[in-house]
Structure 1
Amino acid sequence: MKWKSPPRAGLVATIITLVVGLTAAPSAMAALNGIDVASWQSDTVTCTVQDYDFAVVKSSEGTWYANPKMAAQLSCAQRRGKKIGVYHYADGADATVEADHFVSSIGGWRGKALLALDFEMGGNKVYYSASAGDWIRTFVNRVHAVTGVWPVIYIPESGVGKIPADVRANCAIWPAAYATMNPTGWQSNPWHGGRFNEAMRQYTSEGVLAGYAGRLDLDIFYGDGVAWDAYARGGNGSQATVKPAPKPSTPAPAARTIRPVLDTDGKIGYKTICQWQRVMGTPVDGEISGQYVVWYRPRLYAVTHRNHRGSTLVRAVQRKFGLRQTGLLDRTTIRAIQRYVGANPDGILGYDTARKIQIRLNTGRF
């Protein structure tokens, strides 16, 4: 990341020292341990999780969604003296409109929180298109034009090549790659750490920390608190003071024994739908309602076919993926779900798709 500022005596040397420090090999840097959270978690998650240094909170998605728990989650972290950040989940709609929605959703947290773009495949209409790089460029340029801050770019490791070189020149990156899906606490040297000279890295979605009963995304920031603040403010920043990296914490004993909520039997029945509804924050009745009778949902066992008005749960899923919100579990929606959970996108809710949905729901998220 680059900081631009008015000329000032002695400032150039300070900026060069800071930028060089932030782009140094991670093994030579101090590090901060952190989590990233969203509205599917409680508004007190950042109050109860113990032993973390920063929290990055989802603020917005597409052009339509703002996290109603953002202020509470950020405030909890801030009151505890933690560093904070906010991220926007890209839907692949008009990049300028999404950027404006992101900036608007941040409100008074501008200048206090690190800004980030979450660019991944789930529900993102341009992720696999040739225009992905142009979309990213338009978004970050717009955010910078309005706020003076270059956002950090979160992206799956396999997608780092989508980021254009001119964007990389300005924006730090936050790649994600998991060595395993086993539960873990903090890692001081995660798998592939530093592979892209990144500012941050997410290394698991199966984090287990004291103070929280579910699983968490765990991240490492290759710098200290002063460096974090420089990213958050944009502008000139000040020289980072490297401090010893925090000692990895031990997962809470009780959390290690968490058992899956669902049997992964490949049947989307009452219990699975209840868990899906809880995770998506919709009313919990264990039923996908208002559907048509069709052949391509053979593993859906708890469904009503009255009225054909659709399901609130399905609308929430469609909203997540940027689809038309009919509430009907049609083949387009099933394909989007399949891509998201890593199943064959054939549009049929069969055993493998149902089982992978259950595996995902057993992590406490979707």
Structure 2
Amino acid sequence: MLKMVDVFSDSPRSYATLSYTDITMVKATQGTWYVNPKCDVDYQAAKKAKKQRGIYHYCEGGNPESEAQYFYQNVKGYIGEAVPAVDWEAGSNRSWGNTTWVKRFVTEFHRLSGVWCLIYVQASAISQVANCAKDCGLWVASYPSMDWKSWKLPNMKVNTSPWPTYTVWQFTGDNMDRNIVNTTVEGWKKLAKGSGKSVTVKPKKKSEWKKKNGVFVLGQSLKLHKTPHIDSPAIAELPKGSAIKYDATLQGPKRLWLRQPRSGGKYGYIVGRDKYNKALGKFE
């Protein structure tokens, strides 16, 4: 097993290069507003001292995708050589108790980086992040007491379920955050590299009008709109049985729109099929 210390801006700078540790985990960001001003100082010192490295984000519980993107934008220069982690705690976290937040965060970070984050959480709150067990390693916090100021590993049982075991166990959190890492140096490097492939999300194709002439007989009273949007102003409300001629169709994300030519080169727009793909009249 390896010894790891995690550090933040108020930690003594010497913690990043302790002679008896193997890994330095550095706080990088918080929410979507804070970057640790000592992050790169500690990171580069640890790298020069030939430590393995990690970087972590402290969750504030805002939009998880936005926080993941903020974390990625500020640590992308470390991706591939440092293991990323997400710190899920109750303090300053307005989404504490939400069981989908971390899953969304790690999924977005993986999409951007090709790397899955470790998940830091106290043992009693593992259920909040249990849906990440298939993809992410567990960094669990469980202390024998707040007076354990030693690197001697306490003899105690640590809850990790549904993970079969922990990747990292933080067993002190008073004068220093001491951690034991359940892997080798090569194993840590493998966690840092991940797949090495980000996932490109293809943009959705823009909906386009298709030229098509026809007649639509209304099966119910419907509004004729000024634009192809359900909330746009109505030109008129047409009664059931009205027949309109259309010259083009537009399949939007929810509705099929029909375009009616009007005088002066203008158009009216009416819904032909609703969001359930149900025809609201008869096409002739």
Give the TM-score band, short-chain normalised. Answer: 0.5 to 0.7
Q: Say whether 1:146 aligns with 2:112.
A: yes
Match of 2:141 in 1: 176
Q: Say whether 1:161 aligns with 2:116.
A: no
| Total equivalences in the alignment | 193
Of residues 34, 39, 47 in structure 2, which corresponds to 1:70? 39
- Residue identity opposite 1:76 in structure 2: A
Q: Say whether 1:117 aligns with 2:86.
A: yes
User: Whole-Å Cα distance in 1 between the matches of residues 68 and 130 of structure 2?
Assistant: 18
Q: Is the 8 A contact 1:44 1:72 kept in 2?
A: no
User: Whole-Å Cα distance in 2 between the matches of residues 42 and 158 of structure 1?
Assistant: 29
Gaps in structure 2 of 5+ consecutive residues: 197-284
Match of 1:216 in 2: 176
Give the match's secondary structure for 1:142: helix
Higher strand share goes to which structure? 2
Match of 1:255 in 2: none
Choose 176-185 or 70-79, whichever is displaced more.
176-185
Deviation at 1:87, TM superposition (A): 0.4
Q: Which has the larger radius of gyration?
A: 2
Q: Is the 8 A contact 2:32 2:67 kept in 1?
A: yes
Match of 1:343 in 2: none
Deviation at 1:189, TM superposition (A): 5.2
Q: Is the 8 A contact 2:140 2:160 kept in 1?
A: no
Match of 1:230 in 2: 190
Deviation at 1:126, TM superposition (A): 0.7
CA change 1:200–1:190 in 2 (3 A) is farther
Choose 191-200 or 179-188, whichever is displaced more.
191-200
Give the match's secondary structure for 2:157: coil
**CA displacement, residues 237-280 of structure 1 (integer Å, 9 cap, x when unaligned):** xxxxxxxxxxxxxxxxxxxxxxxxxxxxxxxxxxxxxxxxxxxx
- What CA RMSD, in Å, does the superposition of the two structures yield over aligned residues? 1.6
Q: TM-score, normalised by structure 2?
A: 0.65
- Residue identity opposite 2:82 in structure 1: A
Match of 1:253 in 2: none
User: Whole-Å Cα distance in 1 between the matches of residues 70 and 188 of structure 2?
Assistant: 24
User: Whole-Å Cα distance in 1 between the matches of residues 122 and 50 of structure 2?
Assistant: 29
Q: TM-score, normalised by structure 1?
A: 0.51
- Residue identity opposite 1:224 in structure 2: T
Q: Higher relative contact order at CA 8 Å, sep ≥6: structure 1 or structure 2?
A: 1
Gaps in structure 1 of 5+ consecutive residues: 1-30, 207-214, 237-366
Of residues 9, 12, 15 in structure 2, which corresponds to 1:45? 15
Higher helix share goes to which structure? 1
Match of 1:35 in 2: 5
Q: Is the 8 A contact 1:190 1:203 kept in 2?
A: no
